[in-house]
Amino acid sequence: MSRFEDFDRRGYRTVDVRTGYGEWVADYEDTVQDVMDLALLDELAVPDWPSVRRAADLGCGTGRTGVWLRGAGVAAADGVDLTPQMLALAREKGVHERLVEADVAATGLPGGGYGLVICSLIDEHLADLRPLYREAARLAEPGALFVLVVFHSHFIMLSGMPTHFTAADGEPVAITTHVHLLSDHVAAGLGAGWQLAELREGVVDDRWVAVKPKWERYRGHPVSAALVWRKAS
């Protein structure tokens, strides 16, 4: 497995996930660009969003993905996140029927009850992908989809940039970051019994350069990816 430490060019002080997102919460939604994740969800061809009766939104954060799911026609969603401050903002949005403070690999949600399991921009914080894929398989009903949007390993390695935020005092702070190749996802998914149905990669393009002009030097490089898995019926 590739180690982020071998590519780190920033050397930021690093904090754990709960601490980091608890501090980042105030301006998280002003920092994360929709082109990173929501634009990829818009482009997926396999999911029939309005047919989903109930979704499990793992790593739901402030509720950004939940809002998108509601807009896409998903009838209901339960959210899980490790950070209470993030869950508080998600609760204010009112798009989840249930919000649970838990690890995404041990959610406590009922098994076999979801037509969709989804997570966005959390994989780089997991040392091992396999427990996530296994938990998603436990939650999913037969024929359900598991949709992940991930911070592309190529971009992490190319830029040497961890997931990070700017603290209140102006210090850039990294949140624990791991490098997972797409092949790592494939191995974890197949190992948990999933069938890969779709894969899309988002590259740095005009949309990205418009919001991050300094990223012109990364034009054409993949920065995120969306994987769609199907559980056997």
Mean pLDDT across 79-93: 98
Q: Are strands 164-166 and 172-175 parallel, antiparallel or unpaired?
A: antiparallel
Beta bridge pairs of residue 230: 145, 195
| Cβ neighbour number for residue 93 with a 10 Å cutoff | 15
| Cβ neighbour number for residue 220 with a 10 Å cutoff | 7
Mean pLDDT across 82-104: 98
CA distance 118 to 112: 14
pLDDT for residue 5: 95
Express each pLDDT in 114-138 by its tens digit: 999 999 999 999 999 999 999 999 9
3-class SS of residue 196: strand
Cα→Cα distances 190→101, 107, 186, 225, 231, Å: 28, 21, 6, 18, 10
CA distance 108 to 99: 11
The pLDDT mean for the chain works out to 97
pLDDT for residue 89: 97
pLDDT bin (cut points 50, 70, 90) of residue 70 is: very high
The answer to whether the CB of 44 falls within 8 A of the CB of 198 is yes
Mean pLDDT across 39-64: 98
Express each pLDDT in 12-51 by its tens digit: 999 999 999 999 999 999 999 999 999 999 999 999 999 9
Is residue 185 over pLDDT 70? yes
Question: Quick one: which of 67, 220, 38, 28 has its CA closest to 147?
Answer: 38
Helices 64-72, 34-43: crossing angle, 10 deg rounding: 30
Question: Alpha helix locations (H) across 44-93?
Answer: 64-72, 84-93
Share of the chain above pLDDT 70, in %: 100
The answer to whether the CB of 126 falls within 8 A of the CB of 178 is yes
pLDDT bin (cut points 50, 70, 90) of residue 2 is: confident
Cα→Cα distances 105→101, 168, 202, 204, 216, Å: 12, 31, 26, 31, 36
